[in-house]
Structures are given as structure tokens and as C-alpha cells.
Amino acid sequence: MSHEHTPDAVEANLETHPVKLAISVVVGAAALIVGIILMAQFAIGAYGDRSIQDDASMKPEALEARIGPVAKLQVEGAPAVAPAPEAPKVATVAAAPAKAAAPDGKKTYDTICMACHATGAAGAPKFGDKAAWAPRIKTGNDALYAAALKGKNAMPAKGGNPALGDADVKAAVDYMVSHSK
């Protein structure tokens, strides 16, 4: 008796012995199910989960220390803010006393106002467009300041930057008006 191990011979052997075919199907299905279960457990982290929970470097305090700030700025004359007890030591930097700088209308225009007034976006009068600015200038500076500070039509208050001081907004209005007369 010779035993051939070619694919055709194995297939012919399984066709002639239905019990071997049934056993092969059951064993193959069981192996597939076990493989799927093991992959699912690995994917959800069932294996090795305890090592992460027990690892000191994964505790919330250790994570916070790793991703926390590396320094804090302490301005001279301002009240000191005590760091959290678990926070790493931080460096402090003393800043020179701030001088009250005069508002710079060009700078405010270049950083905020230009976004709309250079292109005419949302109906904003273009910078330097005398025809578009003339009726607005006729309303007077107080009306222009109020519109810029409180917003008007599509323009948000302070050009969308609430951190701007009123003096900065007024200086920007003056700058635009002076170039549109």
C-alpha cells in the first residue's frame, strides 16, 4: 500500500471517508474560533492589563508630572502662585515693569483688522477706499468707535478679539480713517 500525500490524494481520501472529513471540519472550525477569541482578548487588552495597572509610571500622578509644564512665569510684583505639591520644581523669571505703550493703530490693523478690511470680506470697507469710507466718516468718530467696539453687521465687537483694549481699537479706527480721507 502506498500512501500518496498530494492534494488530490488527500481530497480523494476525505471524499471516501466522510468521518475524516467531518473531524477535519470540526477541528478547523474550533481552531478558527479559538484564534478569533485570542485575537479579540489581545485587542481589548485582556493580556498584560495587570502590568499596566501595577506600573508606578502609569499612575495619574506620574503621568501628570511627565506632561506638566516645565516652567512657570512669575512677574515681579504680582502675587506668587504656589505650585501644586507634586509638581516638579519650576524656574521663575522676573519681568521688567511694563511701560504703558501708546496704542499702535497700524499694528492693530495689521494683526486684526486687515483680515477683513484689506479684502472687503463680509462687506467691510476696504482700507484706503475713500468712496466706501466717506459715508462712515461723516457719522463721526464716536459712531465709528462704537461700531468697532460693539460690533456692527458682520463685524464682531473689537474685530473678534475681546482681549483688545478700547484704546487699541480706537487707534486702529483712526489709522484706517486717516488713510481713507
pLDDT at 3: 59
pLDDT at 17: 79
User: What pLDDT is attached to residue 89?
Assistant: 56
pLDDT at 36: 95
pLDDT of residue 26: 95
Segments in the chain forming alpha helices (H)? 7-16, 18-43, 49-54, 60-67, 105-108, 114-117, 130-138, 141-150, 166-178
CB 57 within 8 A of CB 65: no
> 132: Cβ–Cβ under 8 A, 6 or more apart, which residues?
125, 126, 180
CA–CA gap between residue 91 and residue 74 (Å, rounded): 9
Mark 79-115 as b/e (b = at least 16 C-beta within 10 Å). eeeeeeeeeeeeeeeeeeeeeeeebebeebbeebbbe
d(CA 109, CA 151): 16
From first to last of its 181 residues, the chain has per-residue pLDDT tens of 555 667 777 676 666 778 888 888 999 999 999 999 999 888 876 655 555 666 777 788 887 878 877 777 777 776 766 555 555 555 555 555 555 677 888 888 888 888 888 888 878 888 888 888 888 888 888 888 888 888 888 888 888 888 888 888 888 888 888 888 8
Contact 113, 171 (CB under 8 A): no
- CA-nearest of 139, 138, 135, 114 to 124 is 114
